[in-house]
Structure formats: structure tokens, C-alpha cells
């Protein structure tokens, strides 16, 4: 699968170290994420790929004992800085979680929440438009357009996850982070989400953490392999899966461990 990337670096991480209390979770991770491409992060459980992902929208701030060192630049903005306004950052970097977590509110309210708190719509009709656009982009519009006032948690698992994607793209973020977005879904819902990811990369830079190597191979242009908190290998997806430089990567993708 070829990327349509602009060959511009969107996010550049340099020597990122993360500590949970005295335990170090990431060791000197450096990688560049290209604009309008899908970057997949793979590796066995506990390897630090989710931790790295959560550095990109500062969700690690929620954890008191978590400390991040190093430099993460998005365009020219230093993300790992005390002065950074995390509310503004998260407006630009959306996130989709492992378990679908729609708000226990209506479908409409789920999608309109972001635009409302960020003051993106001047009128009700403008808001309606944003909601419709977002649901269409998330390939959910046709299924829910007649029941926007139903509770979001009443949808099926796959629909809930697409609702979460619609919610994430409602504020038109430049970057979307996905933390194992299909791990709770069945194969059909997974295929729908993967198709969606392919569409979304036209307008958004996507970083996806996944346990499924075939998924990484299908959706991504770049892949990073993490093991025990270290980035073992990072490069074009094709190369990583066909001809990795590192023996550990080779072992992992051929299923010899992990």
C-alpha cells in the first residue's frame, strides 16, 4: 500500500524517556512521523508503544507518577513543555481508545461535544453540519441519521468505535492517535475501521498502536517495532515486514515470540 504522504515530518520525537515512578518505561525513543501517513506501532504487550502514543497528546499527564523526558516536536511546537497548553494540543491531536468509550449521551451530543467546548460552531445549523460531516467521514451517518437522539452506548461495538472516531474528527485534528482501536471488535467491524483509516489519512496524520501485525501491514506506511521500552526498528512498512534489519523484529513478525 503506497502512502500519499507529503514527505514532510509532522511529529519528531528525540530521545524520549518515560518513567513511571522509578520504573523506566521508554528508553531513548527517537522517531519521525510523516504528515498524512499512517504510522503503526507494534510490539508485545508492555513494550511501551501505548506509552509513547500517549506522549503525543500528553494523556500521560493524567498519571501523577509519570515523568516524560526528551523532546517531541509537532511542526515547530515542543509538546513536552510545561508551558504547552494541553487543551489546545488535544484539539489538534485527537485520540481513539482501545475500548469504545462514547459518552453515555446521545449520538448527536457525542459528536457535537468537541466543537461545542472549543466554540467551533456559531449556530445550531453549523453544528448540525459538523456533526453530519463527522459521522459521514466515520462511515456511520447512514446507520444513525434517523436516531441521532439515541444514546451512543446503545450502538453495537463497531458502531460505537466509529462514533468515537467521528467524535475525534469532529474538531478537525491534524493528528489522530489510535490505541488498538480494533482489539475489542469482530473481523467485519475491524475491516470497516481499517477502510476508514485508509480514507482518513487523506486529511489526517494517523498513529496507530496495534497488536495485529496483519493490520499494521494493511493500513500503515511506516511501522515501528517496540520491545521492552526500546524502539528496535523503524521504517517503511514494506521493508519491516519483508526484510527487517533486526533479528528481533524478524522473530516477532514471524511469530517466534511475543
Here's the x/- map for another protein, 69-98, by CB under 8 A: it reads as ------------------xxxxx--xx-x-
Residue with cell 460552531: 121
| Residue 45 Cβ vs another protein, minimum distance, rounded to whole Å | 19
Nearer to another protein, 18 or 96 (CB): 96
Residues in binding contact with another protein, number by CB under 8 A: 26
Q: Grid coordinates standing for 240?
A: 519491516
Kindly state the greatest CA–CA separation across the chain: 57
Cα separation, 99 vs 163, in Å, equals 12
| Span 27-66, contacts to another protein by CB under 8 A | 57, 59, 62, 64
Q: Nearest distance from residue 170's CB to another protein, in Å? A: 8
Q: Choose which of 46, 69, 104, 214 interacts with another protein (CB under 8 A).
A: 104
In whole angstroms, give the CA distance from residue 243 to residue 221.
Answer: 15
Residue 8 vs 87, nearer CB to another protein? 87
Smallest distance from another protein to CB 62, Å: 7
| Position 168 contacts another protein (CB under 8 A) | yes
Assess 148 for contact with another protein (CB under 8 A): no
Using rule CB under 8 A, residue 106 touches another protein: no
Q: Answer yes or no whether residue 164 interacts with another protein by CB under 8 A.
A: yes
One DSSP character per residue, 184-236 reads: TS-HHHHHHHHHHHHHHTTTSEEEEE-S-HHHHHHH-SEEEEEETTEEEEEEE
101: cell is 468509550
If DSSP codes are grouped into helix, strand and coil, which group holds residue 88?
helix
By CB under 8 A, tell whether 147 contacts another protein: no
Q: Considering the rule CB under 8 A, would residue 20 count as an interface residue with another protein?
A: no
We find the least distance from the C-beta atom of residue 93 to another protein, in angstroms, to be 9
Long-range contacts of 191-195 (CB under 8 A, 24+ apart): 192/139, 192/158, 192/162, 193/158, 193/161, 193/162, 193/165, 194/218, 194/219, 195/139
Binding region for another protein (CB under 8 A): 57, 59, 62, 64, 87-91, 94-95, 97, 99, 101-104, 113-114, 117-118, 153, 164, 167-168, 171
Amino acid at each position: 500500500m503506497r502512502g500519499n504522504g507529503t514527505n514532510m515530518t509532522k511529529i519528531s520525537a528525540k530521545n524520549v524517556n518515560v518513567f513511571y515512578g522509578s520504573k523506566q518505561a521508554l528508553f531513548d525513543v527517537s522517531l519521525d512521523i510523516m504528515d498524512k501517513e499512517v504510522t503503526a506501532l507494534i510490539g508485545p504487550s508492555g513494550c511501551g508503544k501505548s506509552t509513547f502514543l500517549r506522549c503525543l497528546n500528553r494523556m500521560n499527564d493524567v498519571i501523577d507518577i509519570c515523568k516524560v523526558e526528551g523532546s517531541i516536536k509537532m511542526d515547530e511546537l515542543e509538546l513536552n513543555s510545561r508551558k504547552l497548553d494541553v487543551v489546545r494540543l488535544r484539539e489538534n491531536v485527537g485520540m481513539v481508545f482501545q475500548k469504545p468509550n462514547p459518552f453515555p449521551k446521545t449520538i448527536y451530543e457525542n459528536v457535537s461535544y468537541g466543537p461545542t467546548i472549543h466554540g467551533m460552531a456559531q449556530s445550531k445549523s453549523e453544528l448540525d453540519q459538523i456533526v453530519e460531516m463527522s459521522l459521514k467521514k466515520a462511515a456511520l451517518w447512514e446507520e444513525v441519521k434517523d436516531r441521532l437522539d439515541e444514546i451512543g452506548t446503545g450502538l453495537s461495538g463497531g458502531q460505537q468505535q466509529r462514533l468515537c472516531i467521528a467524535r475525534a474528527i469532529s474538531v478537525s485534528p491534524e493528528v489522530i492517535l489510535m490505541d488498538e482501536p480494533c482489539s475489542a471488535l469482530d473481523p467485519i467491524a475491524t475491516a470497516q475501521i481499517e477502510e476508514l483509516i485508509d480514507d482518513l489519512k487523506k486529511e489526517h496524520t494517523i498513529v496507530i498502536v496495534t497488536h495485529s501485525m496483519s493490520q499494521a501491514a494493511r493500513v500503515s506506511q511506516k511501522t515501528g517495532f517496540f520491545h521492552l521500552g526500546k524502539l528496535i526498528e523503524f521504517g517503511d512498512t514494506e521493508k519491516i515486514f519483508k526484510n527487517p534489519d533486526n533479528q528481533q523484529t524478524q522473530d516477532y513478525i514471524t511469530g517466534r515470540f511475543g
